[in-house]
Amino acid sequence: MRPRLFTPGPTQIPEQVINAMSRPMQHHRSPEFKALFREVTAQLKAFFQTEHDVLILTSSGTGGMDACVVNLLRRGAKILTVEGGKFGQRWGEIGRAYGLNVISLKVEWGEAIDPNEVEAAVQENPDVAAVFLTHSETSTGVAFDVRAIAEKVRQHSDALVVVDGITSVGVLPFYKDEWHIDVCVSGSQKGVMIPPGLAFVALNDRAWQRAEQSDLPRYYLDFLHARKALKNDNTPWTPAITLMLGLHASLSMILDKGLEYFWDKYERLAYATREGARAIGLELFAKQPSSALTAIKVPQGIDGKQLVELLRTRYGVTVAGGQEHLKGKIFRVAHMGYYDHLDMVAFASAMEMALHDLGWQFEPGRAVATVQSAYMNGKI
Amino acid sequence: MRPRLFTPGPTQIPEQVINAMSRPMQHHRSPEFKALFREVTAQLKAFFQTEHDVLILTSSGTGGMDACVVNLLRRGAKILTVEGGKFGQRWGEIGRAYGLNVISLKVEWGEAIDPNEVEAAVQENPDVAAVFLTHSETSTGVAFDVRAIAEKVRQHSDALVVVDGITSVGVLPFYKDEWHIDVCVSGSQKGVMIPPGLAFVALNDRAWQRAEQSDLPRYYLDFLHARKALKNDNTPWTPAITLMLGLHASLSMILDKGLEYFWDKYERLAYATREGARAIGLELFAKQPSSALTAIKVPQGIDGKQLVELLRTRYGVTVAGGQEHLKGKIFRVAHMGYYDHLDMVAFASAMEMALHDLGWQFEPGRAVATVQSAYMNGKI
């Protein structure tokens, strides 16, 4: 049995990334590394669809989110967070940890927010300094319409729009500059298909002005330190060098094929997987699904924890279960990463077998066949 | 020409670490990863010579230093920093970034501090909440007697003793508990011989009490989050998974041979290198040298920048130059990491050739021969 990883981060890693990371260690102040850093910085601009520099932090995605809060606001500032899952909630948690005045717009998990609700909240709170959004909410599989929300915010407010693009950049169509997203943070183990350990933060001029005015205390995650080092093709502190080598290899491959290729591919994989699940009577959890992952409801009478465990131990397929109150109620399968449609066929097959083992009644082979035909017919 | 890395972090990486990091990606909440995490946590206790848990952060060593300041102090607290190089200064910089009242004990670069000076400073400032030290100052190659300093502090004060052990743990004899070091931070690209991207922080009960009382705002680097996750064999945020795989492989190898083996080996490599340099008339920079690295003065009439450049481009040997006001005045060669005495012979040979190319007068072959004989005769 070959282990297959289908979790929405970390994802499976392309061979060329593994090879690049196995190269002999190099020093981060060497001319070779600076040349690589310069190329990676240019690649990240294309990846985020921005003309502005993208900072690289050695941290998880959460470190990048923390950095966005602590670098962009003044003490006691009012912020608005849209919370429709574990990662939306994290914006609120971080804001409160820094003593900010957090207004949380709660959305039921599995639902997307109506941009008009954000508009109303911004109008009611004209003193909001920043609005924190999640593009692809990994805990629920929902895609939020950050483009429309950013437009509504911009009509009524000077608030910065800060987007958690951790499972969206490189996965869903995302145009940072064109959509007037002031700040976007992403992580390495998602759309960019390398191991975890790096966060990326893209900021426009408005955001840089805020960073210069911020008086929240910080050091390691300070954007101004990072910007100064970036002008010298470097990071202020020793970066995760092997991950940088992997990043360069992965972005080279991604940009060579073109972002659209991946956006389309993930959409087709997600569509085929959703159709396959539906074909055997399973329900989907997300109302407005992200193609980064699919969240599937555990059917009545089945123990969700047991299902995830069985998939892993008997079929070698690791998916993610539900988080917080969704534990045992949903399971989540990734499409972003080093996957193709045969991986989704394999997932559907393992899912069918595990559900069969647990006594769920359905026509065996329906999901597998449907994933294949849905992919073939395409949706796009 | 084969590239050889002799920088005091990143160091050269053992093959078994590279192999471990090339294994298929695994999920950080999987039973396999938790089992590995449990083992690594136990290994880190032995590595730090402590009975207390050691936290693992996904950050550079500087992130770990930042975490020590922001987690252990209350707003406006008074701290004492001993600053005899770039990394000692960093403690002061971090303290000021968080608005602390920093008393800096300055030591001339290249010198070690007399523990009595720290004693006097602590007696003059009975309200100091923590004393921040550097065990092995990488910018100067000096080892500080943190054991003696910690003892002096403890005689007169309740101040926490916090040690930057970034280039010392696994390199120099270090007994965290026995020496009553309250907190020690280290990094992954040094004594543990894996790529950069992880920091380790070992804390005793006194330090945990302070962490519980601290009111400085933090989120990503929060120790309490990390401790809670550790009890569940995990990290609060996605860790740098590949580095964790490498860490497990490296610590297994290190602890299998025994810490003493490495302490002795590095001491012999450092001794042999110092003798080799002296044999051709070079002067050493550090008065009380660390065996993590040797800092050698660039001889009069030689351009230090050119020397480092020539070593790299003509002989494939990457060493570190001087930092700050020592730029062009010293060069630094690592002993910690995946090195043996033949590597030091190779370094001495490249150094001789580069100095010869630049017109320095000496008896060719003396340094090489001396490195070998000093190593053979041993000092230990």
ipTM of the shown complex: 0.96
Nearest to B284 by CA among B344, B336, B330, B350: B330
Tally Cβ neighbours within 10 Å of residue B275.
18
Name the domain count of chain B.
2
For B142-189, the pLDDT digits (tens) are 999 999 999 999 999 999 999 999 999 999 999 999 999 999 999 999
For residue B136, being part of any structural domain is answered with: yes
A304 touches B at CB < 8 Å? no
| B174 and B51 together in one domain | yes
Round to whole Å and give the CA distance between A368 and A66.
Answer: 41
Helix (H, G, I), strand (E, B) or coil at B136: strand
* Residue type (1 letter), B201: V
Per-residue pLDDT, B270? 97
**Chain A interface includes B76 (CB < 8 A):** no
CATH of the domain at A320: 3.90.1150.10
Q: Which of B257, B283, B304 is the last residue of a domain?
A: B257
Contact B131, B68 (CB under 8 A): no
What is the DSSP secondary structure assignment for residue A112, as one 8-state letter? P
Residue B7 forms part of a structural domain: no
Copy the structure tokens of residue B337: 């990491």
Q: Does A232 touch chain B (CB under 8 A)?
A: no
Residue with tokens 């032995």: B46
Final residue of a structural domain among A257, A281, A297: A257
* Bridge partners (DSSP) listed for residue A201: A55, A185
Nearest CA in chain A to B313: A31
- Could you tell me the two tokens for B197? 């991207």
SS3 B178: coil
Write out residues 140-159 of A within 8 Å (CB-CB) of B. none
Interatomic CA distance for residues B140 and B287, integer angstroms: 9
CATH number at residue B242: 3.40.640.10
Question: Are B325 and B289 within one domain?
Answer: yes
∠ CA B61-B65-B67, nearest 5°, is: 115
Of A60, A241, A312, the CB nearest to B195: A241
Shared-domain flag, residues A293 and A206: no
Residues from chain A contacting residue B9 (CB–CB below 8 Å): 238
- B5-61: pLDDT as tens digits: 999 999 999 999 999 999 999 999 999 999 999 999 999 999 999 999 999 999 999
CA-based torsion, A67, A68, A73, A79: positive or negative: negative
Q: Tell me whether residue B256 is exposed, middle or buried, using C-beta atoms within 10 angstroms of its C-beta: 0 to 12, 13 to 18, 19 or more.
A: exposed
Closest CB from A27, A220, A240 relative to B7: A27
Residue A47 in any domain: the answer is yes
Asked if the structure places residue A8 within a domain, the reply is no
Q: Can you tell me the distance from the alpha carbon of A186 to that of A168, in angstroms, rounded to the nearest whole number? A: 8
Whether residues A169 and A301 fall in one domain: no
Last residue of a domain, one of B209, B237, B257: B257
Instruction: Locate B23 and state its tokens.
Output: 């294994």
pTM above 0.90, yes or no: yes
Asked if A100 and A78 touch (Cβ cutoff 8 Å), the reply is yes
Residues A275 and A297 in one domain: yes
The pLDDT tens digits of the residues spanning A47-62 come to 999 999 999 999 999 9
Q: Give per-residue pLDDT as tens, A150-189.
A: 999 999 999 999 999 999 999 999 999 999 999 999 999 9
Q: Do B5 and A27 touch (CB under 8 A)?
A: yes
Flag whether pLDDT at A379 surpasses 70. no
Per-residue pLDDT tens over the stretch A76-134: 999 999 999 999 999 999 999 999 999 999 999 999 999 999 999 999 999 999 999 99
Query: Are residues B53 and B73 both part of a single domain?
Result: yes
The H or E element spanning position B98 is none
Classify residue B292: in a domain, yes or no.
yes
The Cα–Cα gap between B78 and A75 comes to 22
Residues of B in contact with A86 (CB under 8 A): none
User: What pLDDT sits at residue B378?
Assistant: 72
pLDDT over 70 percentage in chain A: 99
Crossing angle between the packed helical segments A366-377 and A259-279, to the nearest 10 degrees? 150
Percent of chain A with pLDDT over 90: 98
User: 């992954």: which residue's tokens?
Assistant: B188
Are residues A24 and A62 located together in one domain of the fold?
yes
**Beta-bridge partner residues of A296:** A284, A331
Interchain CB distance below 8 Å, B62 and A238: yes
d(CA B71, CA B253): 32
Q: C-alpha B250: how far from its chain's center? A: 16
Measured CA to CA in angstroms, residue A171 lies from A191, A245, B72, B240 at distances of 5, 21, 40, 21
Distance from CA of A94 to the nearest CA of B (A): 6
CB B131 within 8 A of CB B118: yes
Are A278 and A363 in a shared domain? yes
Chain A environment of B98 (Cβ under 8 Å):
217, 219
CB A71 within 8 A of CB A214: yes
What are the backbone dihedrals phi and psi of residue A241, each rounded to the nearest 5 degrees, phi first?
Answer: -60, -45
DSSP state of B184: E
Residues A273-299 have a mean pLDDT of 98
Residue A191 near chain B (CB below 8 Å): no
Which ranges in chain B belong to alpha helices (H)?
A: 15-21, 31-48, 61-72, 86-97, 115-124, 146-156, 205-213, 223-230, 241-257, 259-279, 304-315, 341-357, 366-377
Yes or no, beta carbons of A241 and B27 under 8 Å apart: no
Inform me whether the C-beta atom of residue A76 falls under 8 Å from chain B C-beta atoms. Answer: no
| Local structure of B127: helix, strand or coil | coil
Contact A237/B62, CB-based, under 8 Å? Answer: yes
Cα end-to-end span (Å), chain B = 34
What pLDDT digit, counting tens, does each position of A23-35 carry? 999 999 999 999 9
- Say what the pLDDT of residue B379 is: 58
Q: B220 and A63: CB-CB below 8 Å? A: yes
CB spacing of B60 vs A237 below 8 angstroms: yes
Determine the pLDDT at residue A194: 97
Q: Is B189 on the interface with A (CB under 8 A)?
A: yes
Q: Are A88 and A104 in contact (CB under 8 A)?
A: no
Task: Tell me if B32 is assigned to some domain.
Answer: yes
Residues B22, A21: C-beta atoms closer than 8 Å: yes
Q: What is the pLDDT of residue B1?
A: 86
Whether residue A5 lies inside any domain: the answer is no
Of A13, A98, A220, the CB nearest to B62: A220
Does residue A5 belong to the interface with chain B, where contact is any CB pair within 8 Å?
yes
Q: Which helix (H) or strand (E) holds B76?
A: none
B 8-37: CB under 8 A from A? 9-13, 18, 21-22, 24-30
Q: Which amino acid is at A345?
A: V
A228, A319: one domain: no
Query: In this predicted structure, what is the pLDDT of residue A1?
Result: 86
DSSP SS3 for B5: strand
C-alpha distance from A156 to closest chain B C-alpha (Å): 31
Contact criterion met (CB below 8 Å) for A91 and A81: yes
**Are B222 and B351 within one domain?**
no
Shortest distance, CA A155 to any CA of chain B (angstroms): 32
Flag residues of chain B having pLDDT under 50. Answer: none
The domain in which residue A198 lies consists of 15-257
Residue of B nearest to A196 (CA): B240
If you search the block for the tokens 């991604």, which residue do you land on?
A254
Q: Compute the nearest-CA separation of A266 from chain B (Å).
A: 20
Closest CA to A314 of A365, A261, A350: A350
Q: Is the pLDDT of residue A380 over 60?
A: no
In chain B, how long is the greatest CA-to-CA distance? 62
Nearest chain A Cα to B17, which residue? A22
Same domain, A92 and A241: yes
Distance CA A22, CA A195 (A): 13
* CB B70, CB B100: distance < 8 Å: no
Task: Retrieve residue A20's tokens.
Answer: 């690049």
Chain A residue with CA closest to B13: the answer is A25
**Does the CB of B222 have a partner CB in chain A at under 8 Å?**
yes
A123 touches chain B (CB under 8 A): no
B197 contact A CB<8A: yes
Region A326-346 average pLDDT: 97
Q: Which residues of A touch B61 (CB under 8 A)?
A: 237-238
Residue A197 touches chain B, beta carbons under 8 Å: yes
- Measure Cα distances from B126 to A6, B103, B121, B146, B154 in Å: 56, 12, 9, 20, 12
Contact across the interface for B3 and A21, Cβ inside 8 Å: no
> Is residue B5 included in any domain, yes or no?
no
Cα B92 to Cα B80: distance, rounded to the nearest angstrom: 8
Residue linked to tokens 């003309």: A51
Contacts of B26 in chain A (CB under 8 A): 3, 5, 10, 318
Name every residue whose Cβ is closer than 8 Å to that of residue A173 and which is 6 or more positions away in sequence.
A263
Q: Does A93 touch chain B (CB under 8 A)?
A: yes
Q: Is the omega angle on the peptide bond into residue B364 within 30 degrees of 0, that is, cis?
A: no
CB contact under 8 A, A238 and B196: yes
Is the domain of A309 the same as that of A221? no
Q: Which of B310, B377, B319, B378 is nearest to B343 (CA)?
A: B319
Residues 6+ apart with CB under 8 A from A64: A57, A166, A185, A186, A187, A199, A200, A201
Bond preceding residue A10 cis, omega within 30 of 0: yes
Instruction: Please state at what angle helix B115-124 crosses helix B146-156, rounded to 10 degrees.
Output: 30
Asked if B7 and A18 come within 8 Å (Cβ–Cβ), the reply is: no
Contact B196 A63 (CB under 8 A): no
Query: Which residues of chain B have a CB within 8 Å of the CB of A333?
Result: none
Whole-angstrom distance, CA of residue B54 vs CA of residue B251:
14
Q: In chain A, which residue's Cα lies nearest the Cα of B337?
A: A25
